[in-house]
């Protein structure tokens, strides 16, 4: 099963990963504010099994926040 790990405190909330995800499962976590003051990107646990581990989010992320394992 694919797993996407977000280094949340580096996220600047630009939403480029949201735009790049072909499955549209990435969203901004509005319940959290990271140390930079942004709502970090996240994938809800119930949506994680929809991930196909394409790595598009990680390739698009300008701050190297994302690690993808499969």
Binding-site ranges for another protein (CB under 8 A): 2-3, 10, 12-16, 19-20, 38, 53-56, 58-64, 66-70
CB of 55 to another protein, least distance (A): 4
Q: Which residue has the tokens 């790595």?
A: 55
Q: Which is nearer to another protein, 10 or 47 (CB)?
A: 10
CB of 19 to another protein, least distance (A): 5
């Amino acid at each position: 099963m694919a797993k996407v790990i977000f280094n949340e405190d580096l996220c600047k909330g630009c939403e480029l990963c949201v735009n790049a995800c072909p499955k549209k499962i990435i969203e901004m976590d509005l319940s959290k504010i990271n140390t930079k003051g942004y709502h970090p990107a996240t994938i809800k646990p119930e949506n994680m099994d929809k991930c196909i581990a394409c790595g598009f989010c990680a390739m698009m992320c300008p701050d190297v926040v994302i690690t993808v394992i499969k």
